[in-house]
Amino acid sequence: MPNAGGLCHVTRMDRTTEIGDRDATGQAEAVRRREVSPRELVDEAIRRIERLNPRLNAVIHEHFERARREADGPLPDGPFRGVPFLLKDLASGTRAGDPIHWGTRFLKDAGYRAPVTSYLVDKFLRAGLVIVGRTNVPELGAWTTTEPEAYGPTRNPWHLEHSSGGSSGGAAAAVAARMVAAAHASDGGGSIRIPASECGLVGLKPSRGRVSMGPTIGEMWAGLAFELAVTRSIRDTAGLLDAVAGPMPGDPYVAERPLRPYVEEVGAPTGVLRIGLMATSATAPVHADCTAAVERTGRLLADLGHHVEIAHPQALEDPTVSDAAIRVIATSQAQEIDHFESVLGRSLGPEDMDCDNWAITQMGRQVTGSQYLAAVAALHEWNRRMAAFWADGFDLLVTPTIPTPPPLLGEQTPDPAAPLSAWAKAGAMVAFTVPFNVTGQPAMSLPMHWNAAGLPIGVQLVAAFGREDVLIRVGAQLESEARWTERRPPL
């Protein structure tokens, strides 16, 4: 009989491991069918983090014991009841009393903890998700690689010497390595889509006003920042968007409510769409692997019956918009540092942050109120020129997510010997993503290609404002053809 009991235990463990490999929707279904308990799922996620995180450095704060207690207790009966989840160490990922350090040494050294739970995190919890930890980010979320001095670099599960992207690099590495099925991510210039591209994931930046950043944040970076998650499947992205979308009292922006839940768009007919294809750029060199990924996606969309043509908004060729965006971002960062100085009760200087973040902060402090408002007005004017492309009859634009494959670690970090070199490199990386932070349109990176080195190459799909439904329908079409959910990193 002892042997029989042992066999039963092993079988149960094997079953839990198999369920832990499913996407978040599949894990939640297994909990509802009582194939696995929330506690078993949480324990499985913890085992995976403990085994893999020493090599990846994706999770920087562990909330394991609390997660176990919550999994044993009466969880909300939401769509993701019992599914383990990770929060990003930035912006609206706040849970009252938890550490949140924005990738900085000064908040880490001060032992700073969040004073409130954000509306976003409250909605994640109401959906039944169990928070098992918090993920690594670059300092102040400023860079397109996750290599902060405070916590060290996060490594890409597909190749440990490469970057996992930024600023949601810790979240993307954890999901790609299957520590958890999905994780919170945010996007101020591409920070959901860039890590999704570099780690082979689905990364949707929603429309402006779709997901609240309250109660302590109305808007970040004059409306250039957004919140959601990185996932491995379209249905998880749709389900998480359903769980957290919707305005909260006092939000400065509100996106029009969808006609039906986003999960109902998964597998729904798309009709024949008019799609513009942009495989290269006049403002940024594009690597052949990234061009090939876009061209391959265009052929696949044509095979699916869509009308695909080489076309893009002419406003994308106007380099002057970057000056206005830089002014807004630098001024916003200066205000963030002023806020942290107030919280800490001391001044912050060049010894507290990397050289480029200090330079950007000083740049922002030189901007006058009139100059800031002029920059915002310039972004609004450019936004109207961009919107004309969709108003003229296009349903989607397809571009590279980023212009290169995942770079090596160390290639994009600030260098005191070359001030603002990291800032310039980040600017090149966001050539295709930041325009849609400016316009507020929904944009999604899909893992459509792997290069000869085995590194993921994402492709970005952009829809008209408020049309996440179109992205989810087309994304589901492409997922069934490209079958990226079957891939897993060699780690």
Catalytic residue positions, numbered: 88, 167, 191
Instruction: Write the DSSP assignment of 244-298 as a string of letters.
Output: H-B--TT-S--PPPPSS-GGGGTT----PPEEEE----SSS---HHHHHHHHHHH
d(CA 443, CA 441): 6
Backbone angles phi and psi of 254, in degrees to 5:
-135, 120
d(CA 242, CA 234): 12
Among 101, 88, 306, CA closest to 213: 88
Judge whether 222 and 212 are in contact, CB under 8 Å: no
Please report, for residues 19, 62, 230, 489, the alpha-carbon distance to residue 178 in angstroms, rounded to integers and kept in the order given.
11, 16, 12, 9
d(CA 352, CA 377): 33
In whole angstroms, what separates CA 116 from the centre of its chain? 22
CA torsion angle 408 414 420 422 (round to 10): 20
The answer for residues whose C-beta is within 8 angstroms of residue 433's C-beta and 6 or more apart is: 187, 189, 190, 193, 194, 205, 401, 402, 443, 460
Which residue do the tokens 């969309």 mark? 301
The answer for residues whose C-beta is within 8 angstroms of residue 111's C-beta and 6 or more apart is: 99
DSSP 220: S
Please report, for residues 6, 118, 124, 344, the alpha-carbon distance to residue 139 in angstroms, rounded to integers and kept in the order given.
48, 21, 25, 17
In whole angstroms, what separates CA 439 from the centre of its chain? 17
d(CA 233, CA 267): 12
d(CA 148, CA 170): 11
Backbone angles phi and psi of 246, in degrees to 5:
120, 145
Judge whether 112 and 66 are in contact, CB under 8 Å: no
Looking at the chain, how many residues does it have? 491
Judge whether 19 and 27 are in contact, CB under 8 Å: yes
